[in-house]
Structure 1
Amino acid sequence: MLVDGRQVTVTGDLLQPLTRRTNDILRVALSGALLTAVITSSLVTRTRWDELEKSISRIVGVLTPTQSDVVYLVYGLAVLALPFMILIGLILARQWRLLVPYAAAAFLAVLALSITGKGLAAPKWHFDLSDRLRTVLAQFLDDPRWIGMLAAVLTVSGPWLPARWRHWWWTLLLAFIPIHLVVSAIVPARSLLGLAVGWFVGALVILVSGTPALEVPLDGAVRAMAKRGFVVTGLTVLRPAGSGPLILSAATEDPEDDTAVVEMYGPHQRSGGALRQAWLLFRLRGSETAPLQASMRRAVEHRALMAIAIGDLGVANTSTIAVGSLDRGWTLYAHKRIRGAPLAECHTSTPVAEVWESLHKLQEHQISHGDLRDREITVSNGAVFFGGFGSAEYGANDNQLQSDIAQLLVTTTALYGADDAVEAAISVLGKDAVLKASRRLTKTAVPKHIRDSVNDAKGVISRSRAAVMRQTGTEKIKSENVTRFSRSQLIQMVLLVALVYVAYPFISTVPTFFNALSRANWWWALLGLVISASTYVGAAAALWASADESVNFWRLSIAQVANTFAATTTPAGVGGLALSTRILQKSGLSTTRATTAVALQQSMQVIMHVLLLIFFSTAAGASTDLSHFVPKSTMLYLIAGVAFGLVGIFLLIPNVRRWLAAEVAPKLKEITTDIIEVAREPKRLSLIVLGCAGTTLGAALALWVSVEAFGGSVSFVTVTVVTMVGGTLASAAPTPGGVGAVEAALIGGLAAFGVPAAVAVPSVLLYRVLTCWLPVFVGWPVMQWLTRNDMV
């Protein structure tokens, strides 16, 4: 390569691989949005759309028929020649690899617009219709397939051709809209659809085939470095451009000058950085994030300036040579060769205190590094230096400085061990600084690239945190909240959305329900409310006994109301189980003990439900026809066959069999062991049994009271069977709290036993108000109170 009369040798392959950039993804998203908007507006407002376009066409259509024909003749020739012009341009530019995507985009666009309800439709040109233009070329503009094909091939070829050509050709294609209106010819609605389909198809083809390499302006890079006094005699490619920059090694004729590293960033190689910065700003608090870098040049410039600032302190492993903008959107960052070896390769001969001393120099000058992975830390002649600087900040705030300490704790713990790393950090930075920064030793606060740089990041963070607690004499380190939304806030937001979702079907029945309340017996309703409240005492008693009576009983009773809110607003009631476990943990139980207590209570609840269902079904069978709930023999045989088939599959498939042996069997064994252990304590077992039975029977009694409130007449045994069978069938419903499924099952069950619909419907709704909706709306402030008092 000849630059300003000097011969510069270039060694290595500069050809960049085809890449799928963020721009390609955004192009697909935008084209898909346009296509959706065109189709939606066409379906919703097609009549008004046509009338509006005809009205505009009459206003602006000032040309005579002869003039319109001339305009269409000229524009039709241009549009007819456009795809061939694009093809010739690609051939002249020697873009041979683009021919296949070009043909594929054209074919797919025409095919997509040719599909109708009756199959594929061939082009239909109206050469002899008097209400259309008389020129043959004008008929191409009347067919959206031609417009779609042009848009597709233009989209595919755009990244490979000069920008001036691309801009002129798009202008020519989009001119069909004003031309249609001015000459008062045809309504361009179908052409707009063709344009949207073509752009979308072309965007998809680009995403699959990839965008091309850009010509690298090496001569500009050599001139920029020469202005800074580094005369380049040879360039060697170390890594071709791709997901990262093009990296070259630059040699000079001056023997006193060391080789330099040249990093060249293409115009789209950091396009993902903007999306990442936006995500961090949305997720993290403002004090946790660095200022936005509006462009790739600003990001590279910031990195170079931080290298200069840190170099002045004597702890930078490189120095900046040149930064600048080059032709075709490239940006140059040239710096001296990195000195020293990575810390991971020489940590055995480098004291860990030296690493912390280097960080201390940065912190004294209020500089944060932001990327303290072991590969960004080098050692030369026993001195520790830093590199990278892409996330470094001058004038960093306290949060960024504490983040650096936490990152280096993770890195040095992985290399030196937790005790040595923490001891060195305390000796250099002081006990208070390390203890405060250790609040960030969490998965959320430690950046992902730091966690990915060490093996077993979770274990490393835990060991480092434990070492800080030991060496500072601290019993507990409160985690730092670095996100804009805490976990509890997100959970509450999800629960509120779920509450609105599950309440919607109930809201639609409110008018009918209130009309029926005028004839209800309020004393029965009040009794039902008392019974519903007593079920929470029973559930609390069962959980209290399951926890070996080691927690506050009345706190558990209050928490059961919040438990109802959490269980109702989450599918399968998982929120209630999680909240119960959390309450036991906050009451002093370990995680294992709390989980075991909740599992024991739930297991006993299922066992008591099944036993009571068998007992009351037997009792009801003596006096009541239960054929409504018993499937026909064919269905029973089918259920039995499916059950045996599943058992066979579980036993025959090795992976499933191993899963049963490794995951399910130990948990069943653990629960069985807990039940046997509880059985040896009659008082405790009796309390659990009574609490679980009281919860089930209390629900049945509340439904029976609700039926009596509306003048119904049905036995308690019958209502108990309906409650348990209906609840069991509705438990498989995907809606949180079984909303909709529970009501339908209970109303159907009561109707099967002869309860009129005029009584069954309001009775079930009253029952759901007493046992579900009132506790849900009361449970929300109760959960807030528990949260404020650090009980959950």
Structure 2
Amino acid sequence: MTSPIVTQERPVASSPEAGTGLGRRRVCWHAGVLLAVLVGGLYLAHRHWAVLESGAGRLAGADQGWLLVGATAALGTWAASALAQQGAVVLRLPGSRLVAAQFAASAANHLLPAGLGAGAVNLRFLMRCGLPAGRSASALAVKAGAGGAVRLVLIALLAPACPGLLRLPHLTPTALAVALGCLVLLAALPATPWWVRCRRALSAVLADLRALHTSPARAADLWGGSLAFATLHSLVLISVTRAVGLPLPPLQVALLYLAASSTAALLPTPGGLGSLDAALVFALTLAGAPGAAAASAVLGYRLLTVWLPLLPGLLVLAVLVRRKAL
């Protein structure tokens, strides 16, 4: 008697064309948003060209001592970023290469939208240091979460010291009802693959946070580096405002920077290009700064944090890739 032939169904492999199509849609979406923001920025620059030209001239005659203070603070931001990244992993990372990777990541971050450049560089670096891909991605999420939490805490601490500077948006009952409905809808989502993956990723991040906080040194690195990063960026803008003679108190400038950078992070532009500039100029002018002085302060901040380090950062990135550190 012949035995029946048992056929085993093979799992259907995902089509590479589907993945390619999804990747193309994401690229097109990012490119569309980036193009829209850049077109809007060019329109605003054309409309307010006289203010920008006056601001550039004012920056050319700025106090060189304060600009040097701002440049020193800008250099410290990469060390602070390296400290926060070390605090996001238990494994001891090579210090010099870690700082170099943060410097290279900051340059790559201004070439790709929504922080993809910095994320890709840091992910490759952590994987080269021996961390699995999932653990490396979780470490990046831990660092980003700590940075966002530190910014919110600083805003909450500085807001009472600068009363009336920040105004909460007026929410209508309709907007509140829509937000409540969205929360209820998210809570009632079925166990779809997307939702399961999100819960799994969040569980991994929370587990890593708990593991890191069992080591006081790692917790101090994570939160201390995140605090230093936000503080030093605020100091860069404060120094530039002092250099151009902008009549705003330092605490107000720091609060305006934290609020503007947090808002600009919602737009997926390379390094906040366009979105952060517009948010900073709007915030400074809303606080009472003249338009030309606000424009010169933002130009100086961008000069110290983006344009001057961009080419050296790309050279460091090329060296790290050549030496297979990424």
Q: Which amino acid aligns with 2:246?
A: G
**What CA deviation, in whole Å up to 9, does each residue of 1:283-321 have, x standing for no partner?**
xxxxxxxxxxxxxxxxxxxxxxxxxxxxxxxxxxxxxxx
One of 62, 68, 77 as aligned partner of 1:535: 77
For residues 753-774 of structure 1, give each alpha carbon's deviation from its aligned partner in whole angstroms, at most 9, with x where no partner exists: 2112121110011111111222
Say which SS state the counterpart of residue 619 (structure 1) adopts.
Answer: coil
Cα distance change on mapping 1:781 and 1:615 into 2, 3 Å? same
* 2:161 is aligned with 1:625: no
Structure 2 counterpart of 1:645: 181
Higher RCO (CA 8 Å, separation ≥ 6 residues): 2
Q: Residue type matched to 2:275 in 1?
A: A
> What SS does the aligned partner of 1:611 have?
helix
**Cα 1:750/1:637, change in 2 over 3 Å:** farther
TM-fit CA distance, 1:574: 1.6
Amino acid in structure 1 at the alignment position of 2:106: T
Question: Counterpart of 1:706?
Answer: 240
**SS at structure 2 position matched to 1:563:** helix
Matches of 1:650 and 1:731, distance apart in 2:
23
Point out 4+ residue stretches in structure 1 off by more than 3 angstroms: 454-458, 501-514, 636-639, 651-654, 657-661
**What is the 5 A alignment of 1:302-701?**
505=42, 512-620=54-162, 624-626=163-165, 628-632=166-170, 635=171, 637-654=173-190, 658=192, 661-701=195-235
SS at match of 2:267: coil
Shift of 1:607: 1.6
* 8 Å contact kept, 1:540–1:560: yes
| CA distance, structure 2, for counterparts of residue 588 and residue 697 of structure 1 | 31
1-side partners of 2:45 and 2:321: how far apart?
A: 29
Kept after mapping to 1: 8 A contact 2:66/2:243: yes
Report matched runs for 1:233-312 at 5 Å: none
Q: Does structure 1 residue 766 correspond to structure 2 residue 303?
A: no
Which whole-Å CA distance do the structure 1 matches of 2:91 and 2:237 have between them? 31
Give the stretch that moved more between structures: 661-670 or 702-711. 661-670
C-alpha distance in structure 1 between counterparts of 2:115 and 2:319, whole Å: 21
Query: Are positions 1:745 and 2:287 aligned together?
Result: no
* CA deviation map 1:412-466 (0-9, x unaligned): xxxxxxxxxxxxxxxxxxxxxxxxxxxxxxxxxxxxxxxxxx97779xxxxxxxx
Once the two structures are superposed, the pairs formed by residues 135-150 of structure 1 within 5 Å of their partners are none
In 2 relative to 1, CA 636–553 (structure 1 residues): closer, same or farther, beyond 3 Å?
Answer: farther
Alignment match, 1:717: 251
Separation of aligned partners in 2, 1:617 and 1:726: 13
Q: Which amino acid aligns with 1:750?
A: L
Equivalent AA in structure 2 for residue 629 of structure 1: R
Identify which range, 779-788 or 584-593, moves more after superposition: 584-593
Change over 3 Å in CA distance of 1:596–1:732 after alignment to 2: closer
Root-mean-square deviation (CA, aligned residues, Å) is 3.0
CA apart distance, 1:603: 1.7
Partner-residue secondary structure (3-state), 1:618: coil
CA shift, 1:519, in A, is 2.4
Tell me the distance in 2 between the aligned counterparts of 1:536 and 1:696: 11
Query: Could you give the per-residue CA deviations for residues 100-142 of structure 1, whole angstroms, max 9, x where no partner exists?
Result: xxxxxxxxxxxxxxxxxxxxxxxxxxxxxxxxxxxxxxxxxxx
Contact preservation (8 Å) 1:502, 1:736: no
Q: Does structure 1 retain, via aligned residues, the 8 Å contact 2:114–2:271?
A: yes
Q: Which amino acid aligns with 1:786?
A: L
Structure 2: give runs of 5+ residues left out of the alignment. Answer: 1-9, 15-30
**Deviation at residue 590 of structure 1 after TM alignment:** 2.5
Q: Decide whether aligned partners of structure 1 residues 569 and 507 sit closer, same or farther in structure 2, where only a CA change above 3 A counts.
A: farther
Q: Structure 2 vs 1, CA of residues 717 and 575 (structure 1 numbering), >3 Å: closer, same or farther?
A: same
1:638 is displaced (CA, Å) by 4.5
Instruction: Give, in whole Å, the separation in 2 of the partners of 1:507 and 1:751.
Output: 16
What does 1:90-109 correspond to in 2, within 5 Å?
none
Determine if contact 1:535/1:699 at 8 Å carries over to the other structure: yes
SS at match of 2:130: coil
The alignment-based identity, stated in percent, is: 25
- What amino acid maps onto 1:596 in structure 2? S
Is residue 59–residue 297 contact of structure 2 (8 Å, CA) maintained in 1? no
- Give distance in 2, aligned partners of 1:692 and 1:640: 32
Compared CA separation, residues 455 and 665, structure 1 to 2 (3 A)? closer
Matched, 1:785 2:319: yes
Relative to structure 1, the CA distance from residue 591 to residue 681 in structure 2 (aligned partners, 3 Å threshold; closer, same or farther) is same
| Larger helix share, 1 or 2 | 2
Report the residue type matching 1:625 in the other structure: G
Q: Structure 2 vs 1, CA of residues 514 and 610 (structure 1 numbering), >3 Å: closer, same or farther?
A: closer
* Aligned mates of 1:457, 1:631 — CA distance in 2: 48
How far apart, CA to CA, are the structure 1 residues paired with 2:62 and 2:264? 27
TM-score w.r.t. the length of structure 2 is: 0.80
Q: How many residues end up aligned between the 2 structures?
A: 294
Aligned position for 2:28 = none
- Secondary structure of the 2:246 match is coil
Unaligned runs of 5+ in 1: 1-453, 459-494
- Say if 1:561 and 1:776, in contact at 8 Å, map to a contact too: no
User: How many angstroms apart in 1 are the aligned matches of 2:188 and 2:88?
Assistant: 37
Residues in 2 aligned to 1:618 and 1:667: alpha-carbon distance in whole angstroms: 36
Report the secondary structure of 1:711's partner residue.
coil
Q: For 1:736 and 1:560, how far apart are their aligned partners in 2?
A: 16
Q: Please tell me whether the aligned partners of residues 703 and 767 of structure 1 are also in contact (alpha carbons under 8 angstroms).
A: yes
Structure with max Cα Rg: 1
Q: State the alpha-carbon separation in 2 of the partners of residues 681 and 542 from structure 1.
A: 14
Question: 1:573–1:511: structure 2 CA closer, same or farther, 3 Å change rule?
Answer: same
Which AA in structure 2 matches 1:618? Answer: P
Q: Cα distance 1:544–1:630, how it changes in 2: closer, same or farther (>3 A)?
A: same
How many angstroms does 1:739 deviate by?
1.6
Distance 1:681 1:653, change over 3 A: closer
Q: Structure 2 vs 1, CA of residues 743 and 669 (structure 1 numbering), >3 Å: closer, same or farther? A: same
How far has the Cα of 1:737 moved from its partner?
A: 2.1
Q: Does residue 732 of the first structure (1) align with residue 266 of the second (2)? A: yes
The CA deviation at 1:783 is 1.1
Deviation at 1:522, TM superposition (A): 1.1
| Deviation string, structure 1 residues 13-54 (Cα, Å, up to 9, x no partner) | xxxxxxxxxxxxxxxxxxxxxxxxxxxxxxxxxxxxxxxxxx
Tell me the equivalent position of 1:434.
none
**Equivalents in 2 of 1:534, 1:733: separation in Å?**
26
Q: Is the 8 A contact 1:747 1:761 kept in 2?
A: yes
Instruction: Tell me, yes or no, if the aligned pair for 1:520 and 1:710 is still in contact at 8 Å.
Output: yes
